Structure formats: C-alpha cells, structure tokens
Amino acid sequence: MRYDLHTHSLFSDGRDSVMDMVRAAEAAGLDTLAITDHVEADRWGNPIVDWLDSMLREVEAIRGKAKVRLLVGIEASLLDTKGHATVTPQVYNIVDLVLCGIEWGTLGIAQNPPESKVALQRNLVTAYGNLAMNPWVDIIAHPFNLGRFPSPLRLSEIATSAVREIAAAFREGNKAFELNNTLWWWFPNQSPDEVLRDYARIVEEFAVVGVKFVFGSDAHSLHGVGNLSWAERLAQIVGLKPEHFLTPEQLRYQRLQKLL
C-alpha cells in the first residue's frame, strides 16, 4: 500500500490547504494520506487544540470528493523526559492517529540538556521509555532527531545498549517507529548518505525485536507529499519486508482494540 502518515497543512506550520495536500497525494498515486498538524502547548503545558474542530469539518467535507483515504491525525510534542505530551484522551478519541516525538521544547533533551553526553543518553532512554508507555500515542515521530538541539548528538554516538533499551520499550508499548523521510535534515553537519548509514544501524536493532514501522514524509507543503525515497532506501538497506510495517488498516485495528 502506498501511504504517507505524516504531513502538515495550513492548520499548523504547513504551506498548503488540506485540499491541495489531498490533490498532491492523488498525483503521487497514494492510497492513504494523513494530515497530522502540530499540537503545541500553552504556558501551562496544556494542548492547544482550538483549531481541531475546524480541521475535522474541512476533512469531512473533502472525504467524499477525494480519491485517497484521508485520515485526521495530530503530531503531539513530547514535553519532558517523564513522557508528558500534548495529547489528551479526548483528542485521541476523535482523531485517526497520533504521532509524538522529541521537539524543540522537550525538557531535558532539546531544552536544559545535561552537559555530559552520557547523561543526555540516559535522558533519551528515560524519555522514550516513558513515551512508549503513553497509551494516547500510536507512532513515535522521527526517532533520534538529535542533531540540531543545543547539545547535538550524532547517531553514531548513541550507545548500542541505549538503542536496545529504547527498542525494547517501543516493543513493550506497541509503538510504531516512523521512518521519516527528512530525518537526515536533523544532522546538518553530515551528508544524507552518512545519516542513512548511521540510522540503518539503529533501525535494524528495532526490527530485530519486532517493532513495527510506518512511512512518513513530514511534508510541509504539497511538493513533499508522498516523497518517501530516502526512507525507502533506508528500508532496503536494513532489509525490511512488508511484514515489518503497519498498514493503515492494522493501525486502525490496534486503536479500536485499545478503545474498546
């Protein structure tokens, strides 16, 4: 199945309307498109979702005309190493999927990180371990996007023991690992091919323990919808097969089981 489960529209920091993103998905030959706009936090850490009803209404109006299956999702932010995120059970119940990952405001990693890289990796293990246990998250967005924060961490610097501990948490928490097509952007001092090589080592550890994967372009305009070429190269290098991936139908089934 051809799908893209991570895109942004005018409802957050994307450049194009939902309709234009849908038309781009049709042009790319996709079967399924998810619009997953950002949910930020207010000064008290509460999710800002006042736009979500408008988005749901717009998507509902488009669904009858679209030739692709259109899903409503959100990209929540991990707030701290304790696993707090900008998603609530109420929001989870009204959308089709929830992505969540480390963002610019994540305390202990992107904000106020420890000075030592060893301590930073312990924070990383703790943060992902707690996020993996959050029942209101389906997919971990752009895992290990650590190269642009105040204390950047290259993928090659992450200890294998830390990777394996995080992989075990993803598996226990039944969280999908997003193969994000623009993960390379997070490492400005390396070429995309260097990031590909280093990331393949990490992805392989997750595949070994049975973590499932999904594809996402992280497109912020219609021009990026369905562009999964870097992520597909990554999957080929690691040797991922169809059984390593979740389809949108399988993701939906998992969510229904959780909500029953």
Closest of 133, 134, 132, 107 to residue 120, by C-alpha:
107
Residue 177, domain CATH: 3.20.20.140
Q: Which residues pair with 70 in a beta bridge?
A: 33
Closest of 153, 241, 166, 154 to residue 205, by C-alpha:
166
| The Cα angle at residue 101 between residues 122 and 30, in degrees rounded to 5 | 140
Are 33 and 22 in contact by the 8 Å Cβ rule? The answer is yes
DSSP string spanning 173-232? HTPEEEEETTGGGG-TTS-HHHHHHHHHHHHHHHHHTT--EEEE--BSSGGGTT--HHHH
CA–CA dist 35, 22 (Å, integer): 9
Strand, helix or coil for residue 249:
helix
The domain tally of the chain equals 1
Angle between helical axes of 117-132 and 160-173 (0-180°, round to 10): 10
Domain that holds residue 205: 3-259
CA–CA dist 52, 39 (Å, integer): 9
Q: What is the pLDDT of residue 156?
A: 98
Residue whose pair of structure tokens reads 């993803």 in the numeric block = 170
CA–CA dist 103, 168 (Å, integer): 22
Q: Give, for all 260 residues of the chain, the pLDDT tens digit.
A: 699 999 999 999 999 999 999 999 999 999 999 999 999 999 888 999 999 999 999 999 999 899 999 999 999 999 999 999 999 999 999 999 999 999 999 999 999 999 999 999 999 999 999 999 999 999 999 999 999 999 999 999 999 999 999 999 999 999 999 999 999 999 999 999 999 999 999 999 999 999 999 999 999 999 999 999 999 999 999 999 999 999 999 999 999 988 77
Token duo for residue 196: 């590909």
The one-letter amino acid at 175: K
